[in-house]
């Protein structure tokens, strides 16, 4: 049972057979997108101070959903805000807090990811969590993103509670991040297979600043899956517009969160967030009419935090120059691409029952053994 599961039911439909392969991370089967090295954990938490908490809701035969919370640092974020930028490729989504974040260029609460119909409850919980830590707060801009997990989850049952959001926030920790069919990715689908939560990181060499860049994704979108340049979706026979008729694997959404310890302004963080779309494009994203494609980037650098001195106009902030941003752009795209691959390769099959029809539903995990075989066929020398 995944950590955070709220009852005894397994998230998946039983263990994967050896012929189908077990959940793996991309690098375990020879997929290594890009050129930069990863951090020690190959996770968003390689950016010093970033915490992630998750709660997975699996109840009976119908509830398959959850919450993933990202905290930029372990202190009081409302008092010590961090600069942030937002990029939107296709705006079919319900990203709470977006306009104030764009206007002021900062985060004053953690970022919470969940399902579409849980956004309201999540906002209430983030407000409660923030007010409890700030006696003088009169306005709170809660940032809550979503994707629609209704293909596997009884989304109308409103399974996510405020208590789940508080548990994810309070349980957020540094260190390894669980991936796949967990948290906000419990009921998501991607490219016709099971999607989920995935993460990755990149480290720039000292000559380029020596910064860390980490990404976390909630994958629930479609297109024609490409893994590190290998056309896996085409080879496995599942892709958008196959035979000009298959419309089933394209619509959905994706939330991307990018963290860095580089001293970036909110303007350059917006530019960094936009590069997430390059990473998604490399995975074969269709960016369809019904997809919500969002990326939030923030900096954890102590020098750019917006505490009381900054708000009083008594402090200046460092600002990494524009002409040195390109390596960060490349690293962000690479981390996002690999985070998506990890979200799918680490997922397990999830089964549920449609409460309206009584029919069984299955989000089948991608066959990692088949993916490995495709990769080896395209890259025999790398095996």
User: Is 253 among the catalytic positions?
Assistant: yes
pLDDT, one tens digit for every residue, the chain (383 residues): 344 455 433 355 443 444 578 999 999 999 999 999 999 999 999 999 999 999 999 999 999 999 999 999 999 999 999 999 999 999 999 999 999 999 999 999 999 999 999 999 999 999 999 999 999 999 999 999 999 999 999 999 999 999 999 999 999 999 999 999 999 999 999 999 999 999 999 999 999 999 999 999 999 999 999 999 999 998 998 765 554 334 445 678 999 999 999 999 999 999 999 999 999 999 999 999 999 999 999 999 999 999 887 777 777 778 999 999 999 999 999 999 999 999 999 999 999 999 999 999 999 999 999 999 999 999 875 44
Q: How many alpha carbons lie under 13 Å from residue 347 in its C-beta half-sphere?
A: 36
Say how far apart CA 340 and CA 220 lie, in whole Å: 10
Say how far apart CA 359 and CA 234 lie, in whole Å: 29
Question: How many other C-beta atoms can be found within 10 angstroms of the C-beta atom of residue 125?
Answer: 27
Question: How many other C-beta atoms can be found within 10 angstroms of the C-beta atom of residue 35?
Answer: 10
Backbone φ/ψ region at 222: left (φ over 0), alpha (ψ -120 to 50), beta: beta
Q: How many alpha carbons lie under 13 Å from residue 70 in its C-beta half-sphere?
A: 36
Identify the active-site residue in 181, 291, 343, 352. Answer: 291
Selection from 57, 67, 42 nearest residue 6 by Cα: 57
Taking the CA atoms of the chain, what radius of gyration do you get in angstroms? 20
pTM tops 0.85, yes or no: yes
Identify the active-site residue in 181, 200, 253, 352. Answer: 253
Identify the active-site residue in 149, 266, 293, 352. Answer: 293
Can you say whether the dihedral through the CA atoms of 369, 228, 65, 81 is positive or negative?
A: positive
Listed in sequence order, the residues at least 6 apart from 189 whose beta carbon sits closer than 8 Å to its beta carbon are 151, 152, 195, 220, 222, 252, 363
pLDDT of 15: 38
Say how far apart CA 43 and CA 335 lie, in whole Å: 9
pLDDT of 8: 35
Contact 294, 255 (CB under 8 A): yes
What would the pLDDT profile of 339-348 be if each residue is shown by its tens digit?
A: 999 999 999 9
Give the chain's domains with CATH numbers. 26-375 (3.60.70.12)
Our CA dihedral for 196, 25, 34, 258, rounded to 10 degrees, sits at 40
What would the pLDDT profile of 182-225 be if each residue is shown by its tens digit?
A: 999 999 999 999 999 999 999 999 999 999 999 999 999 999 99
User: Is 323 among the catalytic positions?
Assistant: no
pLDDT of 17: 42
pLDDT of 312: 74
User: Is 139 among the catalytic positions?
Assistant: no
pLDDT of 247: 44
Continuous segment of H or E residues that includes residue 269: helix 266-274
What the block records as the tokens of 326 is 């390109």
């Amino acid at each position: 049972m995944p950590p955070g599961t709220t009852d005894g039911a397994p998230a998946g439909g039983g263990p994967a057979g050896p012929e189908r392969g077990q959940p793996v991370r991309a690098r375990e089967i020879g997929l290594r997108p890009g050129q930069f090295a990863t951090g020690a954990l190959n996770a968003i938490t390689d950016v010093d101070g970033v915490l992630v908490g998750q709660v997975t809701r699996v109840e009976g035969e119908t509830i398959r959903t959850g919450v993933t919370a990202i905290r930029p640092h372990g202190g009081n974020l409302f008092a010590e805000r961090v600069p942030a930028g937002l990029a939107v490729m296709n705006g079919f989504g319900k990203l709470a807090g977006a306009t104030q974040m764009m206007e002021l260029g900062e985060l004053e609460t953690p970022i919470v990811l969940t399902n579409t119909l849980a956004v309201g409850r999540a906002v209430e919980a983030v407000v409660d969590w923030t007010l409890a830590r700030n006696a003088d707060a009169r306005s709170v801009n809660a940032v809550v993103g979503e994707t629609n997990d209704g293909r596997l989850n009884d989304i109308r049952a409103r399974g996510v509670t405020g208590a789940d959001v508080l548990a994810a926030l309070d349980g957020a920790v540094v260190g390894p991040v669980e991936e796949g069919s967990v948290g906000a990715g419990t009921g998501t689908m991607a490219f016709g297979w099971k999607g989920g939560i995935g993460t990755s990181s990149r480290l720039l060499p000292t000559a380029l600043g020596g910064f860390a860049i980490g990404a976390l994704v909630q994958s629930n979108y479609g297109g024609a899956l490409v893994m590190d340049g290998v056309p896996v979706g085409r080879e496995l026979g599942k892709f958008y517009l196959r035979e000009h008729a298959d419309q089933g694997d394209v619509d959905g959404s994706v939330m991307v969160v990018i963290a860095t310890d580089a001293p970036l302004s909110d303007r350059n963080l917006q530019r960094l967030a936009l590069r997430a779309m390059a990473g998604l494009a490399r995975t074969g994203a269709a960016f369809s009419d019904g997809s919500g494609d969002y990326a939030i980037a923030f900096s954890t650098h102590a020098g750019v935090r917006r505490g009381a001195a900054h708000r009083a106009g008594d402090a200046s902030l460092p600002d990494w120059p524009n002409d040195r941003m390109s390596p960060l752009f490349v690293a962000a795209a690479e981390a996002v691409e690999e985070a998506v691959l990890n979200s799918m390769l680490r997922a397990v099959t999830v089964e549920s029952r449609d409460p309206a029809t009584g029919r069984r539903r299955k989000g089948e995990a991608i066959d990692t053994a088949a993916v490995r075989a495709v990769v080896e066929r395209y890259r025999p020398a790398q095996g």
